[in-house]
Amino acid sequence: MSYPHSKTLMTLYTAKICPFAQRAVWALKEAKAEHATEYIDLKNKPSWYSLVNPLLQVPVLRMPDGQFLYESLLVARFVADKYPESGLMPSDPLARYNVDYFIERVGGLLLKPTFEIARAPSEERVEKANEAVKKNLVEINTMLLERDSKNTGGNKGTYVLGSQFTLAEICTLTFLSRLELVFSLCNLELNEEMASKLGVDLSRFFEWRNAVFARPAYIESAPTKDLMLTFFAPMMNL
């Protein structure tokens, strides 16, 4: 049995619905890395896909020599290292640590409440959403402000490392669009007005979110709302 791949380019196996796979797609687009793409239907995986990944997960990045790279965070880091001119990872060891720490901490703060809210009984969802705003998003807002105090001189800016867009954005904010969708399915809109009504200031968080979500590579890599609904609406019995 064979499987589709490019003989001369890297080949990315991905699925638009998956926030982990989106990390790889987004990183490759930001790096302007030439590659081929194969889309995998996660509900009906092709029989040949076990040759690409025995665990049947996405993303996978295939090298032209046949080597497969697994795990979304590691694939994104590989892209950043292969294309250092992209600036997706800083060269300074301490700055690299700061990116890694932010990803480690913030990824869970966005992903965990998404599924806690979606899987909760309907009468508990609004309360859990409010709790996510007051705890998880406030913590992220605080972390961003703390990073701002350390980004000095010409490095001040909107991103985690100030003016430098990095994997700190790519490897965390793919989860936020899913959280926002779950809020909308609870008839809530995750914005500054909601935060204000709950008595919290998330202005730095939304400044960061808005700047990142406006990037062309994010827009090109993001799934449509209708596609995300096919995943979350059944989970929430809607």
User: Among 130, 237, 108, which residue's Cα sits nearest to residue 183?
Assistant: 130
Give me 172's structure tokens: 């965390």
Q: How far apart are CA 129 and CA 6, in angstroms?
A: 44
Tell me, what's the pLDDT at 154? 64
Shared-domain flag, residues 54 and 147: no
Closest CA to 64 of 11, 4, 24, 12: 11
C-alpha–C-alpha distance, residues 103 and 48, integer Å: 33
187 in any annotated domain: yes
What pLDDT digit, counting tens, does each position of 68-127 carry?
Answer: 999 999 999 999 999 999 999 999 999 999 999 999 999 999 999 999 999 999 999 999
| Residue 48, CB-side half-sphere exposure with 13 Å CA sphere | 9
What pLDDT, on the 0 to 100 scale, is given for residue 133? 98
Would you say residue 155 has pLDDT above 80?
A: no
**Total structural domains within the chain:** 2
Q: Domain boundary at 28, 55, 86, which?
A: 86
Q: Please check whether residue 5 lies inside any domain of the structure.
A: no
CATH number at residue 146: 1.20.1050.10
Domain final residue pick, 26, 51, 86: 86
Identify whether residues 98 and 168 lie together within a single domain. Answer: yes
Tokens at 73, concatenated: 């965070």
Instruction: For residue 161, list its beta bridge partners.
Output: 164
Q: Crossing angle of helices 19-30/167-185, nearest 10°? A: 140
Q: What is the pLDDT of residues 163-173, one digit of tens each?
A: 999 999 999 99
Claim to verify: residue 117 and residue 206 sit in the same structural domain: yes
Q: Report if residue 1 sits inside a domain.
A: no
Residue closest to 79 by CA, chosen among 121, 41, 35:
35
